[in-house]
Amino acid sequence: MSKKKVLVVGGAGYIGSHTSLLLAERGYEPIVFDNLSNGHAEFVKWGPLEQGDIRDRKRLDEVFATHKPDAVLHFAALIEVGESVKNPVAFYDNNVIGALTLLSAAMDAGVQAFVFSSTCATYGLPERVPMDETHGQAPINPYGRTKFIIEQALKDYGTYKGLRSVMLRYFNAAGADFEGRIGEWHTPETHAIPLAIEAALGRRQGFKVFGSDYDTRDGTCVRDYIHVLDLADAHVRAVDYLLNGGETVELNLGTGTGTTVKELLNAISEVSGKPFPVEYVGRRDGDSTSLVANNDKAKAVLGWEPKYTLEDIIRSAWSWHSKANFHLQ
């Protein structure tokens, strides 16, 4: 029996590559489509790489015709919140026009199963914590709004065109493959765990904490960190769910446990055995006090359960970053 094929759009990036790894382990063939603007050809190890841009309809049609995928996973987005405020045009161009172009190509190719990499940023400022999927959606930056627009489109395409989709709202993705084959590699790096690890490794001048006067247990922001392999597991389960006839649904992906920035930095010092300088500065615009997922729905719909702890996240990230030499390039 031939393997079912999944087109992993943005599969050379951080979460896409870890998902390709698990797809291959579970008997699927991942076909990676990526323009390599933020992804890395070295991360495409479990299936073919097709280079191209999601705004290029002709190229998309060629890839769909060649591979005839059974499902599509869409990761190819610009994700840096601060950048979305500086350059909203690029975010609407890629995250909205690109995603809609991809959706049209997928539907014209007869694909009816679509997994969308969304975000808790569609919720905006939390009215209650933990947040479940019934929480109002009022994004406070262009990044969150571009993801929200595509969620609306997916619901309409489901109602009127029969496309079935799973919208996965991530909280804070972190960690790396435990065997060190792939990990987090962003240029520039903006995520807290890699930045703190780089500080502990002496590759950057300490770590900046934005805001120490929040209404939390130690004054710093609270976030829900989830291991990238737990995220990847949910994506593969979402493909299984849709290919078995599952209906359109939106699901939070988080652990349900919040960690403050101070707690995170202490844990990194402990795991690494290397203290590093920390500077407390003023709050950043648009940072929420606390973002923690209620993940009951993902557990019920996908039978998914996050397996890894904060210590697992930090250990796997430490192992990856201390061995990786991309910082020298």
> Which has the closest alpha carbon to 290: 323, 265, 256?
256
> Which has the closest alpha carbon to 185: 20, 10, 325?
325
Catalytic residue among 14, 123, 143, 157: 143
Q: 163-197 burial by CB neighbour count: b if 16+ within 10 A, else e?
A: bbbbbbbbbbbbbbbeeeebbbbeeebebbbbbbb
DSSP string, 108-147: HTT--EEEEEEEGGGT-S-SSSSB-TTS-----SHHHHHH
Residue 95 CA from chain centroid, whole number = 14
Distance CA 217, CA 244 (A): 44
- Given the structure tokens 């078995």, which residue do they identify? 244
Q: What is the mean pLDDT of the chain?
A: 95
DSSP 293: B
| pTM, entire model | 0.96
- pLDDT (tens digit, 9 = 90+) per residue, 263-310? 999 999 999 999 999 999 999 877 889 999 999 999 999 999 999 999
What is the pLDDT, as a whole number, of residue 285? Answer: 77
Amino acid at residue number 310: L
Q: Where are the beta strands (DSSP E) in 129-255?
A: 164-170, 172-174, 207-210, 222-223, 225-227, 249-253
Average pLDDT, integer, range 218-228 = 97
**Active site includes 170?**
no
Looking at the DSSP bridge assignments, the partners of residue 96 are none
